[in-house]
Structure 1
Amino acid sequence: MERETKMSGAVPGGFEWGATKAGIKASGNLDLAVVRAAGGAQAAAMFTTNQVVAAPVTVGRRHMALSGGRVGLVLVNAGNANCATGQAGIDACEKTCVAAAETFGCIFDEVFPSSTGIIGVPFPREKVIEALPRLKAGIGPTADDAESFARAIMTTDTRMKVARASIAVDGKEVRIFGAAKGAGMIHPRLGAPVAPHATMLVYLFTDLDATSAELRGLLPGAVEHSFNSISIDGDTSTNDTVLLLASGTSGVKLDASASPKLRESFAHALDLVCRKLAYAIVDDGEGVTHVVTLHITGARNEREAKQIAKSIAHSPLCKTAWSSADPNWGRLLAAAGYSGVEFDPARVTVRIGGEPVYESGMRSARFDEARAHEVMKHREYTITMDMGQGTAECLFVTCDMTEEYVRINADYST
């Protein structure tokens, strides 16, 4: 059985994408997007674990439960988060789903809604409903159509974020296409697919033939090492959503008869797409000038490694030092020290890029501040911290914090 993962290619079959201007964004840009799976799609979803959730998260979870994980239409608006809008927001979301179902000819509870934008502003359902016929008239199955969807869901993003992969299986091709948005309010903590609980939205499409249950078995692993392993500012959004849809049009089945190698190949391709999208989100972060990968090694377990990484990633002192390429390694140690993970500082080693900065409980004898500064002047680099306690590790992608980030978020609602 031949299998080769490719990070490019055509978009998966069974889907039609589209976008239009509904007048939600003050800029007048594309702000309403849709994906139709005319033959229906099996789905798995993961949502924010924030206690405050937007109306589309509430409605989307309800629809996934009612439909048994079947989705016929995805409807996304940008420019209004429909969060903290009370029962009126829930009602508005449901009414747009009903109107979308009537327009596109699908079942009401097979419409999956998403919103992104400012919190606490009444949701303009009339604008959405009025734009639906235009939206339907412009949908199509091509890569250009899929990219118009990706552009329409942007808010403070400066560029669209897409990724593709494919695997060959006995002469058949299984394709994956992913589209994401997010540039601020990014510290996703996505919960289990069936858990009752500016924004990251991620939509993953494949033509694999798989059930909702099978997709639910694949999605958490891909999310944990991608979207749950990034942070821009430490703020977990009220709207975070990752949705995986399978149309089945490839004819390749992921069922009990499928070989473990097929599952591994698809999981690997899905992981690659998710990681690429997650990195693109941080790389396009609000005001970002440096993308920093924290590689925590030598931990007792992966949970503790990630706990240390998050403590460093969310430290304002670390993030501001990165903005000016200041190799102030003491801030790294301090952030690890208050992470809540117990360790012996004397066993820890730290490198910035390949430059040794800390070992044996003190500044490394080989530390060269000028060389470390040069490493940190690059847009992308890795900080490695070995805890000297075990074999577990994690990669966590984060960034600096700049005056531009403050400017964007100080004026976001005005």
Structure 2
Amino acid sequence: MNDSQPSALPAGFLWSATKAGIKASGKPDLAIAVAPKGASAAASFTQNQMVAAPILVGRQHMTTTGGRVTAVLINSGNANCATGQHGLDACATSCEAFAALANCPAEEVFPSSTGIIGVPLPVEKITAALPTAFAALADTEQAADDFRRGIMTTDTRPKSARATITYNGKSASIYGVCKGAGMIGPQVGPPHATMLVYLFTDITATPAQLRTALAPAVEASFNSISIDGDTSTNDTVLLLASGASELTLDENTSELFQNALNLVTKNLAFQIVDDGEGVTHVVTLHITGAATVADAQAIAKTIATSPLCKTAWSSGDPNWGRLMAAAGRAGVAFDPAKVYIHIGDQPVFEAGTRSPKFDEASAHAVMLQREYTIHMELNAGQAETRFLTCDLTHEYVSINADYST
């Protein structure tokens, strides 16, 4: 489930990236992908009420085409959010310029932006660079790598994952690419430093089938992570199917495809948290014994976004009191006297008080690991959830204190 495995890139797509001069660093900041024969599509967008221009335009394009995309246009270094009519016009202009090159309707261009909020998008730089990016389009490993690097902002490394499914001697591939390291507390849903995710597959599928597959994959991955709890104005997940393989998504292959898509999205979600700004510890919150899944998620999200919990994790402090305090304010009814908490394999809380088996030094040793799990058993039902989060460090504060300057 990673790029070290011999999984082929999906057929029917071309990728490239170039430098448009949007980033002050001079690094690549314009990434494009093209499906020469078009692709079926499904998308999830941020549920933040403050949305960027490309979200508004992307939603409209998906509605107009009924879920058909020929070209994907992504700029990094500028979010094109809170930029008024200029931002909408700039987005439309860039889509029209790309459509002319790709020989498709402007509505079949899917736009995305990531970067600083409130700065006018220099669309002239994008339109000037598009011919260079278009000329470099290819279906090679290098082109795919250029694409995933071109969408990065505060990421320290590119992120991608792959899977292949086979049925009756026919196969289809999935290639997922994402960026995100800060402003990560996604709430993405149908018609939902930013999280951008692009999933390419060569299976033959309708937009409706893709929407059906994408929703649970997003819920179990990107909607189950948090770095800082902040939901971006630009969060986007796009799933494209070129239909270039001999495999069709149907009752025989749907479970295989869903499982593969889930693996790719969970892999990408982990990479986002693992590369979080200033992250030194990746923590899985496993909440079990809840009355409902919604209750389990509410407790997990409250703990995951608690500054007190997150700062304790940064130093390996087994402060179980902070965990219980966060759970107790999550708006979920439960009996603290029935709760059990383990940090790794170390019991820390039970029956309403500190566990008699609590060994502070051993629990601290667990928390010094890069990755570990905190398990909270509520004994209130049968529902559970897993939620991926991280610590909060001085480096995170430094990065975000100076982000716009």
Match of 1:240? 235
Structure-to-structure mapping, 1:7-406, within 5 angstroms: 8-192=6-190, 195=191, 198-255=193-250, 258-259=251-252, 262-406=253-397
| Rounded Cα–Cα distance in structure 1 between residues aligned with 2:142 and 2:392 | 34
Q: CA deviation at 1:146?
A: 1.0
Superposed CA offset, 1:255-299 (max 9, x none): 4xx32xx11110000000000000000000000000000000011
**Contact 2:77-2:116 at 8 Å conserved across structures:** yes
Q: Which amino acid aligns with 2:78?
A: N
Q: Secondary structure at the match of 2:76?
A: strand
Aligned 8 A contact 1:8 1:165 in 2: no
Task: Could you list the structure 1 runs, at least 4 aligned residues long, displaced by more than 6 angstroms after superposition.
Answer: none
The secondary structure found in structure 1 opposite 2:279 is coil
TM-score by length of 1: 0.96
- How far does the alpha carbon of each residue in 1:366-392 deviate from its partner, in whole angstroms, 9 at most, with x for none? 000000000000010000000001111
d(CA) in 2 for partners of 1:380 and 1:253? 38
User: Which amino acid is 2:87 matched to?
Assistant: G
Q: Which amino acid aligns with 1:411?
A: D
| CA–CA distance in structure 1, aligned partners of residues 373 and 232 of structure 2 | 26
Provide the rounded CA distance (Å) in 1 between the counterparts of 2:328 and 2:236. Answer: 32
For the 8 Å contact 1:10–1:143, the answer to whether it is kept is no
Distance 2:187 2:134 in 1: 33
Q: 1:24 & 1:385 partners in 2: Cα distance?
A: 46
Structure 2, unaligned runs of 5 or more = none
Determine the C-alpha separation between the residues in 2 that align with 1:8 and 1:331.
Answer: 44
Amino acid in the other structure paired with 2:388: V
Identify the residue that residue 3 of structure 1 maps to in structure 2: none
Structure 1 unaligned runs (5+)?
1-5
Q: Deviations over 1:82-108 (max 9, x none)?
A: 000001100000000000001222211
1:34–1:75 contact (8 Å) kept in structure 2: yes
TM-score of the superposition, structure 2-length normalised? 0.98
SS of the counterpart of 1:270?
Answer: helix
CA distance in 2, matches of 1:317, 1:47: 30
Further displaced range: 330-339 or 168-177: 168-177
How far off is 1:171 after superposition?
Answer: 1.0
| 3-state SS in 2 of match to 1:175 | strand
Percent sequence identity is: 64
AA aligned to 1:75 is L
- Alpha-carbon separation, structure 2, partners of 1:294 and 1:144: 37
Between 1:101-110 and 1:90-99, the stretch displaced more is 101-110
> Within 1, Cα distance between the matches of 2:71 and 2:6?
25
Amino acid across the alignment from 2:367: M
Amino acid at match of 1:240: D
1:143 CA drift (Å): 2.1
In 2, Cα distance between the equivalents of 1:68 and 1:25?
Answer: 34
- The 8 Å contact of residues 7 and 166 in structure 1, kept in 2 or not, is answered as no
* 1:32-62 deviation digits (Å, cap 9, x = unpaired): 0000000000000000000000000000000
Residues 8 and 166 in structure 1, CA contact (< 8 A), matched pair in contact too: no
Aligned length: 402
Whichever residue aligns with residue 284 of structure 2, its letter is T
Aligned amino acid, residue 198 of structure 1: A
Amino acid at match of 1:278: A
Tell me, in whole angstroms, the C-alpha distance in 2 between the residues paired with 1:147 and 1:68.
30
1:211-247: CA deviations, max 9, x gaps? 0011011101000000000000010000000000000
Deviation, 1:8, is 4.7
Q: Secondary structure at the match of 1:216?
A: helix
8 Å Cα contact 2:203-2:241 kept in structure 1: yes
Change (3 A) 1:345 1:8: farther
Distance 1:92 1:35 in 2: 19
Work out whether residues 249 and 257 of structure 2, in 8 Å CA contact, stay in contact via their aligned partners in 1: no
